[in-house]
Structure 1
Amino acid sequence: MQGGVSGFQNAPVTRAVVLASGLLFVVFSAQRRARALVLSHQGIVKNFRLWKLFASGFAFQSTPELLFGVYLLYYFRVFERQIGSNKYSVFSLFTISVSLLLEILSLVLLKDTNYLSTLACGPYGLIFASFIPFFLDIPVTSRFRIFGVNFSDKSFIYLAGLQLLLSSGKRSLIPGICGLIAGSLYRLNVLGIRRMKMPQVIASFFARIFAPSSGGSSRPSRSLVGNMSSRTSRAVQNNQPSGFAPVVEPPESSIAMLVSMGFDGNAARQALMRARNDINTATNILLEAQTR
């Protein structure tokens, strides 16, 4: 299952988070100070530094964590395209902040035990919060068996998340759980968070900086993914074979799935009708039409 078709197009917030994670990892690894970013009760109470708290929320400590984390962040850019960069920036700030607060609380509660002394660093809050809409909103489009075990097209994302969750044992398990809690609170619309937006001045500023360029200019996304060109829509419509019996109207969930991947709603509907509601075939049709 694809998370999108055009890199970081219409996903400037995700691009900024990925760049921040990568750059901070390189900087602190080069200085051999990556271990200094881990959260600890002593570091928070006695040696508190705001920059360190910020860095620990974005920089991974090890290369495997970075690889799996960036992969998941890149895949979950589909949600930024779905709700728009403005609301996704609120989602990111909320989940990272709430997750960090919960992690600090867990360190305070467990400071007198031998169970936990430090926590893994990195954007665990944002990543695992994204598993809430991934589980609830992204449909399974295909199933298959490997060595007698049932899998779906979503299984590999869950496996990557499990690998990241257990990468540092209990040190990464608790940040992952805190991220799931933060994502659940956002889903429940605590304090009306889902209605909040970033000020347009701030949103436009970061969109101009982090939005990938396309032909020398870039424009921030305001809706699902941005519109596919009318030429692509006409190409899909003109490819509709004649002589076939009318097909059933495509379900809205299938259309929403294709829209979240970066395609125009009308073109997605036409492709699904041509593919007789087979989402994989419809995706191929849209991709072929887009290259014309």
Structure 2
Amino acid sequence: MNGGPSGFNNAPVSRAFIIASTLLTVLFRIQRRSNKLGLSFKDIFQKLQLWKLIPSVLTFSSMPELLFGLYLLYYFRVFERQIGSNKYSVFIVFSVVVSLLLEAVALFLLKDPGFNLITSGPYGLIFSSLVLFYFDIPVSTRIRIFGLHISDKSFIYLAGLQLLLSSWKRSILPSICGILAGFLYRMNAFYVRSVKFPEFIASFFSRFSWPSTGSTSSPAATRNALGNLPYVRRQVEFQRNYPSSAVTPVEPPEGSVSTLVSMGFDRNSARQALVQARNDINVATNILLEEQSH
């Protein structure tokens, strides 16, 4: 199972977040300080060490957690391709802030000053994404192993379970807070799903992060996927590059249809979009995103 086209094509925010998390985890591991980044009641309410919030959100406490966490974050770039980098940035901020607030409430209620109850790492974002993954990403294939029916989504759930239990109760608490944050986002609490940042914030990540190693696309297609062009201009540009009378529609390859389905789109809609886009998967993605936003 994959999250669409390989690499970070049309997913600069995911790329920047993964790079930052990896670098900080390695840095704190070299300094042997990664185990000291977990949050406790004493840190937040007595010493007021609020500086720990940022590294605790990005830094995993162990290398196994880093590997499973990066695997999940890499797959969840599919959501950025679905909703665009701007709204995905809003999703990240909402998930992180809400989960941190819930963690602070839990620490205040438990009031255990001598123990780090919450391990470090982007658990809020990962488990908030798992909520969207459960509800919004359809099953594309099913297999049967020793009498058990397993879907292609099972591997993501197993990685999430491993991360959930990685530090026992220290990882269970932030995971639960992330799940609650994901439910609030999906319920559109505070109308968060209609919020957008100023465009320069999302576009900053495309300049900040390293070049993608995945398949490349034209600048126009990238701008379309990030939502930087108005709808009318995008339609005119599409019609100019892909006139409907130019060629006879070609049946889309099953691989392209499966890729769009793995990104959460309906199979029939994905096929029609590919026919309209002359089997250009980037343009087809833009068409589907436009249909969802109207």
Same fold (TM over 0.5): yes
Which residue does 1:106 correspond to in 2? 106
Matched-pair contact (CA < 8 Å) for 1:10–1:211: no
Runs (4 or more) in structure 1 with deviation over 4 Å come to 213-220, 234-241, 253-256, 258-261, 264-271
Deviation for aligned residue 1:237:
4.8
Q: SS of the residue aligned with 1:145?
A: strand
Deviation for aligned residue 1:50:
3.6
Which residue does 1:153 correspond to in 2? 152
Q: SS of the residue aligned with 1:150?
A: strand
> In 2, distance between residues paired with 1:270 and 1:211?
33
> In 2, distance between residues paired with 1:222 and 1:22?
24
Deviation for aligned residue 1:2:
1.4
Q: 191, 201, 226: which one pairs with 1:222?
A: 226
> In 1, distance between residues paired with 2:29 and 2:248?
49
Matched-pair contact (CA < 8 Å) for 2:251–2:275: no
> In 1, distance between residues paired with 2:15 and 2:263?
20
Root-mean-square deviation over aligned CA pairs: 3.6
Letter in 1 for 2:183: S
Alignment of 1:233-272 (within 5 A): 237-238=249-250, 257=261, 265=270, 269-270=274-275
Query: What does the per-residue CA deviation read over 1:100-138, in whole Å, with 9 as the maximum and x for residues that have no partner?
Result: 111111111111599x74211100011000111111111
> In 1, distance between residues paired with 2:99 and 2:34?
20
Alignment of 1:25-174 (within 5 A): 25-112=25-112, 117-174=116-173
TM-score (norm 1): 0.76
Matched-pair contact (CA < 8 Å) for 1:141–1:153: yes
Letter in 2 for 1:208: R
Closer/same/farther in 2, CA of residues 259 and 30 from structure 1, 3 Å limit: closer
- Structure 1, unaligned stretches of length 5 or more? 242-249, 275-282, 287-292
Aligned residues: 257
Closer/same/farther in 2, CA of residues 23 and 254 from structure 1, 3 Å limit: closer
Closer/same/farther in 2, CA of residues 215 and 92 from structure 1, 3 Å limit: closer
The structure whose residues are more often helix, as a share, is 2
Query: What does the per-residue CA deviation read over 1:141-187, in whole Å, with 9 as the maximum and x for residues that have no partner?
Result: 11111122221111010010000001111110111110010011011
> In 2, distance between residues paired with 1:236 and 1:95?
45
TM-score (norm 2): 0.76
Which residue does 1:208 correspond to in 2? 207
Matched-pair contact (CA < 8 Å) for 1:8–1:15: yes
> In 1, distance between residues paired with 2:199 and 2:18?
22
Matched-pair contact (CA < 8 Å) for 1:259–1:268: no
> In 2, distance between residues paired with 1:27 and 1:150?
42
Matched-pair contact (CA < 8 Å) for 2:140–2:261: no
Matched-pair contact (CA < 8 Å) for 1:38–1:118: yes
> In 2, distance between residues paired with 1:239 and 1:133?
31
